[in-house]
A = this chain, B = another copy of it.
């Protein structure tokens, strides 16, 4: 049994007036700026005007901002109050189950209406779009976390939200669709007859199951063609990561309440937004004050962007509609094998996360899904919360670090981001208990081909 008294505090709560008043912009503290975003036609750095067809100006300016603090508007903070500040937990029961001297803390973002960190940026994006005069948003969703978060944000600010949902997910996850509709959004299986892009794909392959790349293309097309409609993205971009920093800013204050500073900070990484949301404020402390800690991004072995990808200019989507960004990438044509963490299937990694990796400020680790679900079940039985499949990746590494502490006999402090609950992902647990999960690695030949197809950019 680990050494602790159960009468210790389990939750560290902050009052509403401690919701951060500004997001933290890591660009202000980095020793060098990230590489420029390039126009795919000219190869030249893009400017705000290039993005104004689909994004409102406040978000475009946040994308390139250099100020350390970006003020959070009061109406956004007022919506955050519905679930923020989110609790920081000390996982005393997990520590006891592992019999480890480690102190394990987790920041729980599953308390949001949609059940993950995604509403932190959805609410901000909906607000800035409405303030800029737009009345409709289009977006894509795969597993449905992002689509339901933007649907919620749209309902709060009175925006019409149209979500293009990958057709196979639309069919397999009817309850995510029901959640979006409950929030008043329209959910359309993609490819659809509503866009040129969708019609072209359906003409060629009438039974297309869809893909995130196709759904992005449909959502972007709708935004580009309709002056009252903008496009909204749930990860990858600088302004999205910026909005997520409320997680780490609150966590720093809560760790100080708890009286411990983390030796290790852990987050799962798909596009990179929940990881950055927790990690960037801690990296800022490291850069400004020299506070030492390890920071680990955890990704699936089946889609190992940071651990097996190349740091290169690439498109953000499969249809090559986006600008070129320099990032760790497996190639935009890369298709990972099937696995259950739908939010960790992206071929690239947020440029800013890639940049801090390149600067040596973070580590990356790849894990297989079966040991992740094992970790998720150990966690659920100890702490009660059933984690999302994506989140189990962070838990796996947090548990591994705690077991290393046990082997070493050292009481390190571990902090991870419990980015979401798994209430809408129980099929994955059903498959796990039925022994149906496969730990397939990516296909080497397929990765080689995808990397060979990277666009040629004169650096």
Contact = CB atoms under 8 A, between A and B. Distances in A.
B380 A10 contact: no
A78 B9 CA distance: 9
A9 B423 CA distance: 28
A7, A155, A182 — most chain B CB neighbours (10 Å):
A182
Interface stretch (A173-181, A190-198, A325-333): A173-181
A183 interface: yes
Given A15-B13, A83-B384, A111-B111, A75 B6 contact: yes
A93 interface: yes
Interface stretch (A214-222, A341-349, A427-435): A427-435
A359 interface: no
Nearest to A151: B381
B93 A383 contact: no
Interface string A408-429: 0000000000000001101101
B384 A10 contact: no
Could you say which interface size class chain A belongs to? 35 or more
A130 interface: no
A367 interface: no
B384 A152 contact: yes
B16 A9 contact: yes
B385 A175 contact: no
A74 B183 contact: no
A184 to B, nearest CB: 6
A183 B385 CA distance: 10
Given A13-B13, A78-B6, A424-B423, A381 B181 contact: no
A235 B383 CA distance: 24
A113 interface: yes
Given A13-B13, A82-B10, A386 B179 contact: yes
Interface string A1-15: 000001101110101
A95 to B, nearest CB: 14
A294 interface: no
A420 to B, nearest CB: 12
A351 interface: no
Interface string A189-215: 000000000000000000000000000
B384 A113 contact: yes
20 contacts: A6-B75, A7-B74, A10-B16, A13-B13, A82-B383, A83-B384, A113-B384, A113-B385, A113-B386, A155-B381, A156-B384, A175-B430, A177-B430, A178-B430, A178-B433, A179-B386, A179-B426, A179-B429, A423-B423, A423-B424
